[in-house]
Amino acid sequence: MIRKVRQHISQNEALIFEESSPGKSGYQLPPLDVPAIDPAAALGKQNVRDEIEGFPEISEVETIRHFTRLSTWNYAIDLGLYPLGSCTMKYNPRVNEFVARLDGLAWAHPYQPESLSQGALQVISDLEAAMLEITGMDAVTLQPAAGAHGEFTGILLVRALLESRGNPRKRILVPDSAHGTNPATAAMAGYTVQNIKSNEQGLMDVEALARFVDEDVAALMVTNPNTLGVFEENIVQCAKILHDKGAMVYMDGANMNALVGLARPGDFGVDVMHINLHKTFSTPHGGGGPGGGPVAVKSWLEPFLPIPRLARKNDQWHLDYDRPQSIGRVRAFYGNFGVLVRALAYILAHGCDGLRNATLDALLNANYIRHKLAPYFDLPYTSPNMHEVVFSDERQAKRGVKTGDIAKRLIDYGFHPYTVSFPTIVHGALMIEPTETESLREIDLFIDSMISIAKEIETDPKMVLGAPYDTRTNKVDEVGAARRPVVRWKPERPASKAAD
C-alpha cells in the first residue's frame, strides 16, 4: 500500500526559449550616472557582437513561475528520505544558508586587504581546527572544491613527498569496491592503477595486499568505512604494510559521517585524506554541487600543501605564499568559502556531543533498516555495517526484477531510490543510507514500501517492471539520448528553410 504519496497535478512548462517573446524583459538598471559610450568606438567595430540569438526575453513573473514549475518536478531531502548510499543526503539546516549570505562574508572580495578579511580568515581557521580534531590529522587545506578535487590534491601531496625522497614511484592501489573517482584521480596524478580484490567479507585482504605492495607503490586509496558500509577492521595492519615499504595510505573520506566522534583516521594509520563537506557536514548538494573537499594530512605531508596557507603574524591572520615545497595551487583563491561557512555553522550547532550523536543516529538508522529488510532482501556480506547497508537483488532477480527496477518502483511509493548497482563487487546492489536525519516514522514508511515491493515481485513481477507509473515523466529513453545527443535547444527552422 502506498502511504507517502498520491497523484497530483503538476504544471507543464516549455523551455525558457520557447516562452520568450521579443521585447520582454525582467531586469531593471538605474540610469547611467556617467556619459554613455559608443561600444564600436571604445572596443572596435569588429569586437562588438550582434544580439545574442535565442537568448531569453521574458518577464520577472514568468521567470519565477518557470523555475518554480521546474522545481516541482524534483525530489528533494525537503520532501522526504533520500536513501542514496554513499551520497549522505542529510537535512541542510537553513540557518547555514542565512549566515553564508551575510554581507561581510558574501561580498568579501578575495583580493581585499587581509586587514579587512580577518572575519573570513577566522572562519577558515575555526573550520581547520574542527577538521583536525575530528580527523586526528596534523594539518589541513580547505582549498579543494569537491571530493574528487581533494583526492587529486591528496595524491599530488603523496607524489611531492615521494619525489622529495628521490622517487615518486609508479602505482596506486585501489580496492575493487572503490568509487570511480579514485582510479580517475590516480591517473590524473600520473600514476597507474592497480585494482585489488576484496576478500569474502568484502574487506581488504591483508595477505593479498602484502603481495601487491612493493617499492613501486606510492599509495593505497581506501574508503573507510568502505562502500559496503563496513569498517575496514584490518586498516591498522594494512597501513603498516604500506608504511614498511615507504608508501602512504590515502583515505577517501566519503563515509566520514560514520566515524565523526567515534574514530579518527589519524589514529588508525591514514597519512592523507579528504572530507566531503557536502556529505558529512550537511552543505547542500544543490542538484550536483557545489561541494567542499578539504584535505587533511599528517605532519610529513604538511610542507607540500597547496598555497596559500593560513598563518598568524602580529596577532592577525594572513595568507602565506612562501612555501617552497608546495605542490602549488589547485584552485584560484582559497576554496569554496561559502561552503566552508555552512560547514562551520553545522559543526557549531552540533558541538562535541551533537556530532557524535549524529553519527550514532546514522548507525542506528542503517542497522534498523538492515534488520527489518534482511528477511526480504539478500544480504551478500554479513559483516557489521556502519552508516549504510548494501543488499543484493539476487532473490528478486530470479523473478526477473533487478535492482534498477525495484528502484523505479520505489519512486511510485514516494521515495527517491537508493544507490543502484554500486558497489560493483555486489551483483545487483541496493545501497541504502538513511543518515541521522530520518525519524522512525519516515524510516518505517520506507521499510514498509520496500517490503511491499518485495511482495509485489512475488505476485506480479511484470507490474513492477513497468514502474514508475505515477511520475509526470516515466521511463526515459537514455539509449536514444546517447545515440543522437541533443545537448542544447535550437529554434525550430521555418518549414521553407527546412525544405531546402
9 binds other proteins (CB under 8 A): no
- The correct pick among 76, 311, 379, 451 for binding other proteins (CB under 8 A) is 76
Going by C-alpha positions, the residue among 444, 349, 451, 375 that lies closest to residue 409 is 451
Q: Tell me the window of 233-241, 394-402, 425-433, 492-500 that interacts with other proteins (CB under 8 A).
A: 233-241
The site string for other proteins over 437-476 (x = CB under 8 A, - otherwise) reads: ---x---------------------------x--xxxxxx
Cβ atoms 329, 304 nearer than 8 A:
no
- The correct pick among 7, 67, 320, 455 for binding other proteins (CB under 8 A) is 67
322 binds other proteins (CB under 8 A): no
- The correct pick among 3, 11, 26, 299 for binding other proteins (CB under 8 A) is 26
Q: Tell me whether residue 96 or residue 392 sits nearer to other proteins (CB atom).
A: 96
Q: How far is the CB of 270 from other proteins (least distance, A)?
A: 10
Cβ atoms 211, 197 nearer than 8 A:
no
Q: Tell me the window of 201-209, 213-221, 295-303, 333-341 that interacts with other proteins (CB under 8 A).
A: 333-341
Take residue 382 and report the three cell numbers written for it: 554479513
User: How do strand 309-313 and strand 295-297 relate by DSSP bridges?
Assistant: unpaired
DSSP state of 76: -
Take residue 199 and report the three cell numbers written for it: 576478500
CA distance 315 to 154: 30
User: How do strand 316-320 and strand 309-313 relate by DSSP bridges?
Assistant: antiparallel
Take residue 465 and report the three cell numbers written for it: 517492471
Cβ atoms 139, 299 nearer than 8 A:
yes
**Residue whose C-alpha cell reads 614498511 in the numeric block:** 244
| Subset of 423-442 contacting other proteins (CB under 8 A) | 440
| Subset of 164-203 contacting other proteins (CB under 8 A) | 179-181, 183-190, 192-193
DSSP state of 110: T
Q: How far is the CB of 100 from other proteins (least distance, A)?
A: 8
Q: How far is the CB of 300 from other proteins (least distance, A)?
A: 20
Q: Tell me whether residue 159 or residue 309 sits nearer to other proteins (CB atom).
A: 159
Q: Taking the CB of residue 469, how many other CB atoms lie within 10 A of it?
A: 12
Q: How far is the CB of 185 from other proteins (least distance, A)?
A: 5
CA distance 453 to 460: 10
Q: φ, ψ for residue 457 (rounded to 5)?
A: -65, -35
| Subset of 270-289 contacting other proteins (CB under 8 A) | 276, 278, 284-289
CA distance 52 to 27: 16
The site string for other proteins over 384-423 (x = CB under 8 A, - otherwise) reads: x-x--------------------xx--x----xx----x-
Q: Tell me the window of 81-89, 242-250, 296-304, 450-458 that interacts with other proteins (CB under 8 A).
A: 81-89
315 binds other proteins (CB under 8 A): no
Q: Tell me the window of 198-206, 296-304, 364-372, 452-460 that interacts with other proteins (CB under 8 A).
A: 364-372
- The correct pick among 35, 166, 324, 375 for binding other proteins (CB under 8 A) is 35
Q: How far is the CB of 473 from other proteins (least distance, A)?
A: 5
138 binds other proteins (CB under 8 A): no
Q: Computed from CA positions of residues 337, 339, 345, 350, in that sequence, does the dihedral angle turn out positive or negative?
A: negative
- Kind plus residue range of the DSSP H or E element containing 147: helix 147-164
37 binds other proteins (CB under 8 A): yes
Q: Tell me whether residue 417 or residue 496 sits nearer to other proteins (CB atom).
A: 417
- The correct pick among 74, 199, 299, 382 for binding other proteins (CB under 8 A) is 74
118 binds other proteins (CB under 8 A): yes
The DSSP string of 275-326 is E-TTTTT----TTT------EEE-GGGGGGSPSPEEEEETTEEEEE---TT-
Going by C-alpha positions, the residue among 13, 139, 17 that lies closest to residue 71 is 13
Q: How far is the CB of 459 from other proteins (least distance, A)?
A: 23
The site string for other proteins over 366-385 (x = CB under 8 A, - otherwise) reads: -xx-xxx-----------x-
498 binds other proteins (CB under 8 A): no
Q: Computed from CA positions of residues 64, 67, 73, 77, in that sequence, does the dihedral angle turn out positive or negative?
A: negative
Q: How far is the CB of 139 from other proteins (least distance, A)?
A: 17
CA 458 to chain centre: 35
Q: Tell me whether residue 69 or residue 245 sits nearer to other proteins (CB atom).
A: 69
- Half-sphere exposure (Cβ direction) of 317: Cα atoms closer than 13 Å: 16
- How many binding residues for other proteins (CB under 8 A)? 189
Take residue 124 and report the three cell numbers written for it: 577558515
Q: Tell me the window of 213-221, 294-302, 363-371, 453-461 that interacts with other proteins (CB under 8 A).
A: 363-371
CA distance 78 to 92: 9
